[in-house]
Amino acid sequence: MPDLKKYWQEIRAIEKSLPAEVWLVSLQNLDKGQVGGAIVEVAAAVAAKLLHAKSQRLATEEEVQAQKEQQGEAQRLVFEQRMLKQGIAIIPVLRR
């Protein structure tokens, strides 16, 4: 039987070492059917459990920046599609 007190001490120690919000990258585990490379932002309490289980790792600054850019582009496309459905055309203006 695992020592639950020790487990929670380890989780809390990891949590205290993390900022409030943490970016994680999933690790590949073919035995469990997990595909690696998915990036998520989670609270420190959740991140501590995932890091302890070794199913995730901390994301690098480059991975975080790429994810934010991808999310921004997706949000822009959704906004443009919503405007188009309302009959509003968005025309990009190039500055020189």
Residue 24 has what DSSP assignment?
Answer: E
Residues 48, 3, single domain; the answer is: yes
Name the CA dihedral angle for 4, 25, 13, 5, rounded to a multiple of 10 degrees. 0
Please indicate, yes or no, if residue 22 is contained in any of the structural domains. Answer: yes
Whether residues 39 and 3 share a domain: the answer is: yes
pLDDT digits (tens, 9 = 90+) for 22-56: 999 998 776 666 667 889 999 999 999 999 999 89
Tell me, yes or no, whether 49 and 2 share the same domain. Answer: yes
Q: Is the model's pLDDT at 96 over the cut of 80?
A: no
Angle subtended at Cα 21 by Cα 58 and Cα 61, rounded to the nearest 5 degrees: 45
Report if pTM > 0.75. Answer: no
If we measure between CA atoms, which residue out of 28, 59, 54, 29 comes closest to residue 42? 59
